[in-house]
Structure 1
Amino acid sequence: MKQENLVSFSQSLLEWFDSYGRKHLPWKINPTPYRVWVSEIMLQQTQVTTVISYYERFTKHFSDLSCLAQASVDEVLELWAGLGYYARGRNLHRAAQIAWDTYGEIPPHFEDLIKLPGIGRSTAGAILALALNQSYPVLDGNVKRILTRQYAINDWFGHPRIEKLLWQYAEELLPTERVADYTQALMDLGATVCTRQRPKCSICPIKDSCQAYFLGTQGNYPVPKPQKNPLSLRTTQMVILSNHQQEIFLEHRPLTGIWGGLWSFPECSIETNLESWCEDQFNFNYQVESIKKLPSLRHRFTHFILDIYPVLVQVSSEHNNIAESNQKTWVSTKKAYQLGLPAPTLKLLKKLNEASDLKHMV
Structure 2
Amino acid sequence: MDIKKLEAWYESNHRKLLFRETSDPYKIWVSEIMLQQTQVETVLPFFKSFIKKYPTVERLAKTDQETLKKDVEGLGYYRRFKYMLLAAKQIVDKNSGFPSKYQDVLALPGVGKYTAGAIMSIAYNEPYSALDGNVIRVLSRYLNLNDDFRVEKNKKNLDQINQEIIESARPRIYTQSLMELGALICRPKNPKCEICPLNEHCIAYELNIQETLPVMAKLKDKKEFNYITLKLYDKNDQIVLRKRTESLLEGMYEYPQFESESIFDVISTLESNGVVIDVINKEMNYKHIFTHQIWYMKVFEARLLKGKDLSWMMVDKEKIKQLPMAVAHRKIK
Does TM, normalized by the shorter one, top 0.5?
yes
* More moved, 230-239 vs 106-115: 230-239
- Aligned-pair Cα RMSD in Å: 2.3
Q: Which of these residues, 234, 242, 247, is aligned with residue 251 of structure 1?
A: 242
Q: What is the one-letter code of the residue matched to 1:16?
A: W
Identity of aligned residues (%): 33
- Cα distance in 2, alignment partners of residues 140 and 119 from structure 1: 14
Equivalent in the alignment of 2:254: 264
The whole-number CA distance in structure 2 between the counterparts of 1:110 and 1:239 is 48
Q: Which amino acid aligns with 1:346?
A: R
Report the secondary structure of 2:226's partner residue. Answer: strand
Matching residue of 1:83 = 75
Write the deviation string for residues 9-39 of structure 1: whole angstroms up to 9, x where unpaired. Answer: 21011110121012x2111243311110010
Number of residues of Structure 1 aligned to a counterpart in Structure 2: 331
Query: Whole-Å Cα distance in 1 between the matches of residues 236 and 51 of structure 2?
Result: 36
Aligned to 1:359: none
Amino acid at match of 2:331: K
Moved over 4 A (4+): 272-281, 321-324
Counterpart pick for 2:226 among 207, 224, 235 = 235
Tell me which of 294, 315, 324 is aligned to 1:305.
Answer: 294
Is the 1:299–1:306 contact (alpha carbons within 8 Å) kept by the matching residues of 2?
yes
* 1:301-337 superposed Cα distances (whole Å, 9 cap, x missing partner): 33332211212112467xxx8699xx64322333211
Instruction: Find out whether 1:14 has 2:4 as its counterpart.
Output: no
User: Cα 1:88–1:308, aligned 2, differ >3 Å: closer, same or farther?
Assistant: same
> Which residue of the partner structure matches residue 336 of structure 1?
320
- C-alpha distance in structure 1 between counterparts of 2:219 and 2:37, whole Å: 19
Partner in structure 2 of residue 346 of structure 1: 330
Question: Residues 289 and 266 (structure 1 numbering): CA distance in 2 closer, same or farther, change over 3 Å?
Answer: closer
Q: What are the Cα deviations for residues 61-91 of structure 1, in whole angstroms up to 9, with x where unaligned?
A: 2221112222110011111211111111111
Query: Matched residues in 2 for 1:161 and 1:268: separation?
Result: 41
Deviation at 1:203, TM superposition (A): 0.6
1:114 to 100, 106, 117: 106
TM-score (norm 1): 0.84
Unaligned runs of 5+ in 1: 1-5, 352-362
1:105: Cα distance to partner? 2.3
Within 5 A, what are the aligned runs for 1:1-362?
6=1, 9-22=2-15, 24-176=16-168, 178-226=170-218, 228=220, 230-254=221-245, 256-270=246-260, 271=262, 273-278=265-270, 288-315=277-304, 328-348=312-332, 351=333
Quote the offset at 1:103 in angstroms: 4.5
Q: C-alpha separation between the residues in 2 aligned to 1:169 and 1:146?
A: 13
Aligned partners of 2:204, 2:278: CA distance in 1, in Å? 66
* Contact preservation (8 Å) 1:10, 1:175: no
* TM-score for the superposition, normalised by structure 2: 0.91
Amino acid in the other structure paired with 2:161: Y
Per-residue displacement from partner, 1:86-121 (whole Å, max 9, x unpaired)? 111111112212222134422111111111221111
Q: Secondary structure at the match of 1:88?
A: helix
In the alignment, structure 2 segments of 5+ residues that lack a partner are none
